[in-house]
Amino acid sequence: TLQDRLQATFRNLRGKGRLSDADIDATVREIRLALLEADVNLAVVKEFTAAVRDQARGAELSQALNPAQQIIKIVNAQLVEVLGGQARQLRFAKTPPTVIMLAGLQGSGKTTLAGKLSLWLRQRGHTPMLVAADLQRPNAVNQLQIVGQRAGVPVFAPEPGNGVGDPVAVARAAMDEARRKLYDTVIVDTAGRLGVDAELMAQAADIRDAVHPDEILFVVDAMIGQDAVNTANAFAEGVGFDGVVLSKLDGDARGGAALSIAKVTGKPIMFASNGEALTDFDLFHPDRMASRILDLGDLLTLIEQAERTFDVEQSRQAADKLMAGGDFGLDDFLQQMQAVRKMGPMSKILGMMPGMGQMKDVIENIDEREIDHIEAIIYSMTPAERANPDILNGSRRARIAQGSGMQVSDVNGLVNRFKETRKMMQQMGRGGGIPGMPGMPG
């Protein structure tokens, strides 16, 4: 998998201080393969990887991440950006009803989406009406009626007088009905063909001109793969659309088509449909899609952790300052310990951090429960005792042991460990060298 291959790249890069062009090229090559495997359009891949390469070359060096991690981070951010950043909201008409027209190939999921979207709107206080303007398939009207019933939303279907057999007349009659009955949104389901088709496109354009949609949503099956771009282009040209809905994201397609469509048409992906149930539907989340396309869940988590870990580095610097002033107390000690704990599965992260590999063994020996005990003991001390542990005589230690539910020997152990750490830090403070992780239980 990409994860495995990138992990291998990481191993090669570990210990390197900066991004060389060769590092960048190697990582970009892997990303390129991953995108192609995810069915992203070749032209899009080329442009995308070129942009990543440029950014990586110009990148400020991060102290928390190694070179490959930095590139992954750039790639991920770029993907999220290309996928539209924050999902765009539906635009509602100033004067209701707001008209939403669905377009797309047969089987792309339009009718299902009509139901999902109407339920979603209803749950948000809107009063939608569905319009059956797909008169192509014998069962299409009936399918929409069933979906509407499940969503609790009225369906406007052709009847004698409504223009039987003419979807444009039906759409027009539906608009009259919506105005009369004060529905605030009208969702127009349209016909699709199995492939792009001129007659169909003309019909969709006619419906569009009859209802003046506020939003035309292009519905596309995420499993469609390489064809997505051609289809999207054909619809962009034939009907035009304002936003994209990705359907069938519950399938096992990686969804690279999404990236291609967003990039090629410049239209935002607004919703994601991920199942047959009416509630399998949500606003589109570019960050989730990016993780899905790159399939880098774990790696991205590690990168986030590594960056958070970098806070530890900063708190170490704060400790350095404290040392210079000479008043490193138990509160600081505890803070260091908690910072280390925040790092999560440490052995994993540290191996990936520049210059931290050698700390791995030490840190692996921290027992999480031990940190709990240390916390309990320190929290049982008075502020004066924490600031100046030298005042901890026998009776104070007994009181603290009692208060924390620990033994006096545990309190003694902690105080000794603290004093050793403090000594170590003061030495390092004088030496000015790079100190190890402070506050580390021996």
* Cis before 97? omega within 30: yes
Residue closer to Mg ion by CB (options 171, 290) is 171
- Binding flag, residue 421, ligand GDP (CB under 6 A): no
CB of 174: closest distance to ligand GDP in angstroms?
17
Number of residues that bind ligand GDP (CB under 6 A): 17
| Residue 11 counted as an annotated binding residue | no
Stretch that binds Mg ion, among 111-119, 148-156, 194-202, 293-301 (CB under 5 A): 111-119
Consult the annotation and say whether 339 binds a ligand.
Answer: no
Residue 225 binds which of ligand GDP, Mg ion, none (CB < 5-8 A, kind-dependent): none
Closest residue to Mg ion, judged by C-beta, is 111
Among ligand GDP, Mg ion, none, what binds residue 104 when CB lies within 5 to 8 Å by partner kind? ligand GDP
- Annotated ligand binding at 419? The verdict is no
By CB under 6 A, name the one of 53, 172, 208, 248 that touches ligand GDP.
248
Is 192 marked within a binding site?
yes
Q: Per the annotation, does 85 bind a ligand?
A: no
Q: Quick check: 107 binds ligand GDP (CB under 6 A)?
A: yes
Options 27, 111, 305, 309; binder of Mg ion; rule CB under 5 A: 111
Query: Is 249 one of the annotated binding-site residues?
Result: yes
Q: Does 336 bind ligand GDP (CB under 6 A)?
A: no
Q: Would you count residue 111 as binding ligand GDP (CB under 6 A)? A: yes
- Binding-site partner at residue 247 among ligand GDP, Mg ion, none, CB < 5 to 8 Å by type: ligand GDP
Residue 231 binds which entry of Mg ion, ligand GDP, none, CB below 5-8 Å type-dependent: none
Nearer to ligand GDP, 19 or 170 (CB): 170
Check binding of 276 to ligand GDP (CB under 6 A).
yes
Q: What separation in angstroms does the CA of 277 have from each of 78, 151, 183?
A: 32, 10, 24
SS3 letters across the chain = CHHHHHHHHHHHHCCCCCCCHHHHHHHHHHHHHHHHHCCCCHHHHHHHHHHHHHHHHHCCCCCCCCHHHHHHHHHHHHHHHHCCCCCCCCCCCCCCCEEEEEECCCCCCHHHHHHHHHHHHHHCCCCEEEEEECCCCCCHHHHHHHHHHHHCCCEECCCCCCCCCCHHHHHHHHHHHHHHHCCCEEEEEECCCCCCCHHHHHHHHHHHHHHCCCEEEEEEEHHHHHHHHHHHHHHHHHCCCCEEEEECCCCCCCCHHHHHHHHHHCCCEEEEECCCCCCCEEECCHHHHHHHHHCCHHHHHHHHHHHHHHHHHHHHHHHHHHHHHCCCCHHHHHHHHHHHHHCCCHHHHHHHCCCCHHHHHHHHCCCHHHHHHHHHHHHCCCHHHHHCHHHCCHHHHHHHHHHHCCCHHHHHHHHHHHHHHHHHHHHHHHHCCCCCCCCCCC
- 386 lies in the site for ligand GDP, by CB under 6 A: no
Q: Can you tell me which residue has the tokens 């809905």? A: 245
Q: Is 266 assigned to a binding site? A: no
Identity of the residue, 3 or 136, whose beta carbon is nearer to ligand GDP in the bound complex: 136
The entry of Mg ion, ligand GDP, none that residue 107 binds, CB within 5 to 8 Å by partner kind: ligand GDP
Q: Is 260 marked within a binding site?
A: no
Residue 230 contacts ligand GDP per CB under 6 A: no
Q: Are the CB atoms for 429 and 324 separated by under 8 Å?
A: yes
390 in a known ligand binding site = no
Using the minimum distance from each CB to ligand GDP, give the nearer residue, 67 or 158: 158
Determine whether the annotation assigns residue 107 to a binding site: yes
Please give the residue ranges that form the binding site for Mg ion (CB under 5 A): 110-111
Binding residues for GTP: 104-111, 189-193, 247-250
Instruction: Name the binding residues.
Output: 104-111, 189-193, 247-250
* Contact footprint for ligand GDP (CB under 6 A): 104, 106-112, 192, 247-248, 250, 273-276, 280
